[in-house]
Amino acid sequence: MALKRRQGAPRLLQPNRSQVELRASDLESLLPADHRARLVWGYVVHQDLSQLILDIKARGSNAGRAAIDPHILFALWLYATLQGVGSGRELARLSQEHDAYRWICGGVSVNYHALNDFRAGNEALMDNLLTDNVAALAAAGAISLTRVAQDGMRVRADAAAASFRRQASLEQHLQEARELVQTLKAQVLDPGLVNRRAQAAQLRAAQEREARIQAALKQLPEVAAVKKRNGSKTEARSSSTDADARVMKMGDGGFRPAFNVQFATTCEDQVIVGMDVVNAGSDMAQLSPMVEQVEQRLGQSPDEWLVNGGFPAHAQIDAVADKTDVYAPVPEHKARQGAKEDEHQDEPKDPAAQDKHQPKAGDSEAVAQWRVRMSADQAKEIYKQRAATAECVNAQARNRGLLRMPVRGLTKVRSVVGLFVLAHNLMRTAVLAPHIIGRGRGASAKAAQAA
């Protein structure tokens, strides 16, 4: 039977994007109850940001625009760090377009200047919040200080390799910068100037460049002293972009401007209990300061401290001998060069010269104990936890965007790294002691498991 012929054009529902729609909804309904943004806000509202609030000048009937609540800026950066967002401009855009960021803002408009200023200018706040965080976890019985692993991670600085210059070159650039500043100052005073705002911006940029070059010149003696101590004969150089940056050997074997980020992490719980940023490319002198830092934060030192082969300088082991037991690989003895073939070559050799784990002449008691300790099979099993802990924490930081510093200067860099540390510990707190951030009640997860 023949099919009936279809009559007329098909009727289709097509989009009409110019039609105005009115939708009644509140920000609270945008996110589910278990959304990560709610977790972040639950943590932030319980933090002490009173010092930032005291610095706000807009008060009562005084003139001035109302300030953004610091809790909003802190929560935005914490959530952005967990999501791998590291740009202030991108975060400002997301705060208008993305539901999670809009929920955190709660209708408050933010700009990238305020966001960047908050991230870069709160080193002391980040340090205090880390102390409060690990102290709360310790008080809740959620972390164990039996064993801590420390590691250094080289992070690319916001400075080009070509910005490192010798003293003569820096002095020449400083003179040029000063002349440019004087020229721009004279132009700003010109009554016939039309675009004063653009000219003032150029003047600020020139003054900042002059200040950076002056800072680079001040750093040269320190750089020269390090080179002399290391036996290098090359002339000292300093960056005219970021005077605190140093050229370091990176994980891929290349040399680039970087900072050395240090983390101390509990092996059992993977909570960061110590953090620092230094501009020394070597980890050799970083053991003792980190042990002291953790002791100050928690009132006690870990029983065991795990580090890689770059840390255990003998002086460092001696400095922490009364605080913790160091677990680090013992280096092989250096081969003796130019040994004389005389009548004494057949004499019995010192066993300590053959076995790296035997105490050597001149070893302190702490160093001798470290050598013997690392010869035991139990020590080798304990040391395996170092990589499983430290490398995991480093990888998580890189996955969240800690690949290149968005700021310049050690103070600002420490503030940025502090955000990464607090973001990491926040996620661990949600697992180990959710009641601290308003997720669950009663004992911590660890205590509940033990019961």
Tens digit of each residue's pLDDT (9 = 90 or more) over 306-352: 999 888 889 999 999 999 999 999 988 665 434 444 444 444 455 55
pLDDT of residue 120: 95
Contact (CB, 8 A) for 417 and 428? no
Q: Model confidence at 359, in pLDDT bands (50, 70, 90)? A: confident
45 membership: H or E segment, kind and range? none
Give 151's strand partners. 263
68 membership: H or E segment, kind and range? none
Give the HSE-up count for residue 349: Cα atoms under 13 Å, Cβ half-sphere.
8
Task: Give the CA angle between residues 391, 395, 397 to the nearest 5°.
Answer: 120
Contact (CB, 8 A) for 84 and 399? yes
Q: Can you tell me whether residue 79 is helix, strand or coil?
A: helix
pLDDT tens digit sequence for 81-129: 999 999 999 999 999 999 999 999 999 999 999 999 999 999 999 999 9
Q: Average model confidence (pLDDT) for the chain?
A: 87
Q: How many helices (H) and strands (E) does the chain have?
A: 16, 8
Give the HSE-up count for residue 314: Cα atoms under 13 Å, Cβ half-sphere.
11
| Tokens linked to 409 | 């200067």
Contact (CB, 8 A) for 382 and 306? yes
Q: Which of 68, 67, 75 is nearest to 45 (CA)?
A: 75
3-state SS string over 135-191?
Answer: HHHHHCCCCCCCEEEEEEEEEECCCCHHHEECHHHHHHHHHHHHHHHHHHHHHHCCC
pLDDT tens digit sequence for 53-75: 988 888 887 777 888 999 999 99
Residues 6+ apart with CB under 8 A from 338: none
- DSSP per position, 384-438: HHHHHHHHHHHHHHHHTTTTB-SS-SHHHHHHHHHHHHHHHHHHHHHHH-GGGGT
pLDDT of residue 103: 95
Q: Which of 15-19, 106-110, 390-394, 431-435 has the lowest mean pLDDT?
A: 15-19
| Tokens linked to 53 | 């609030």
Q: Which of 137-141, 208-212, 221-225, 340-344 has the lowest mean pLDDT?
A: 340-344
User: Where do the structural domains in the chain lie, given as residue ranges?
Assistant: 27-54+65-120, 123-159+256-332+352-415, 162-239
- What dihedral angle (degrees, nearest 10) is formed by the CA atoms of 444, 445, 448, 450? -110
> CB burial class (10 A; 0-12, 13-18, 19+) of residue 280?
middle
Per-residue pLDDT, averaged over 374-380, amounts to: 93
Please give the C-alpha separations between residue 390 and each of 30, 241, 308, 346, 369, in angstroms, as whole numbers.
37, 31, 10, 46, 24
Q: Model confidence at 448, in pLDDT bands (50, 70, 90)? A: very low
Per-residue pLDDT, averaged over 201-227, amounts to: 91
pLDDT of residue 15: 86
**Its pTM surpasses 0.75:** yes
Q: How far apart are CA 41 and CA 281, in angstroms?
A: 37
pLDDT of residue 150: 96
232 compared with 327, residue with greater pLDDT: 327
Q: For strand 255-266 and strand 246-249, is the pairing parallel, antiparallel, or unpaired?
A: antiparallel
